């Protein structure tokens, strides 16, 4: 019994560890992995289907000027269930779930709110504390 134990120990001492050296070495996420939501204004019509279909109320949408496509998209990572419904519902491919943004642990909840849009539009939404469209 003891001999078997020491043989095992000796063998293990010279074997490469099977565990990964995270966070120093990272494997790429599997294809189609659903990470953090990202949004682009290009193609967005302001239809708000993404907001209506989100089961977690994780998206606030601000329509500043629909004719000129001035929108702000505020995403609450801390509420998101990563279901992918918003990307599925958007007919204009404005939303993707980023397979590189998956390390989402943190101690500050405010850091999980991500706001997309033109900087001047985001500033207006924040300074004037505008309510989300349809809220």
Angstrom distance (rounded) from CA 23 to CA 109 = 22
Among 35, 50, 116, 117, binds ligand SF4 (CB under 6 A): 50
Least CB distance to ligand SF4 at residue 69 (A): 9
**Joined tokens for residue 132:** 């989300």
Q: Is the sign of the CA dihedral 100, 103, 108, 113 positive or negative? A: positive
Residue closer to ligand SF4 by CB (options 8, 52) is 52
Q: Strand ranges (DSSP E) for the chain?
A: 37-39, 59-65, 70-76, 95-97, 113-116
- Give the binding range for ligand SF4 (CB under 6 A) out of 1-9, 22-30, 47-55, 125-133: 47-55
Environment class of residue 2 by beta-carbon count within 10 Å: exposed (0-12), middle (13-18) or buried (19+)?
exposed
Among 92, 103, 111, 123, binds ligand SF4 (CB under 6 A): 92
For residues 53 and 37, the answer to whether their CB atoms sit within 8 Å is: no
User: x/- binding map, residues 26-45, to ligand SF4, per CB under 6 A?
Assistant: -----------x------xx
Residue 59 engages ligand SF4 in binding (rule: CB under 6 A): yes
Least CB distance to ligand SF4 at residue 111 (A): 17
Q: Which residues bind ligand SF4 (CB under 6 A)?
A: 37, 44-50, 54-56, 58-59, 80-86, 89-90, 92, 94-95
């Amino acid at each position: 019994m003891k001999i078997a134990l020491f043989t095992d120990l000796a063998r293990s001492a010279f074997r490469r560890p099977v565990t990964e050296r995270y966070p120093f070495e990272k494997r790429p996420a599997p294809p189609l992995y659903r990470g953090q939501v990202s949004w682009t204004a290009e193609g967005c019509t302001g239809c708000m289907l993404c907001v209506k279909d989100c089961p977690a109320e994780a998206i606030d949408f601000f329509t500043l000027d629909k004719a000129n496509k001035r929108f702000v998209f505020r995403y609450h990572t801390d509420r998101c269930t990563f279901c992918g419904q918003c990307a599925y519902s958007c007919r204009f491919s404005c939303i993707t779930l980023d397979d590189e943004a998956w390390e989402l642990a943190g101690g500050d909840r405010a850091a999980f709110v991500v706001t997309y849009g033109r900087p001047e539009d985001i500033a207006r939404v924040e300074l004037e504390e505008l309510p989300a469209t349809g809220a």
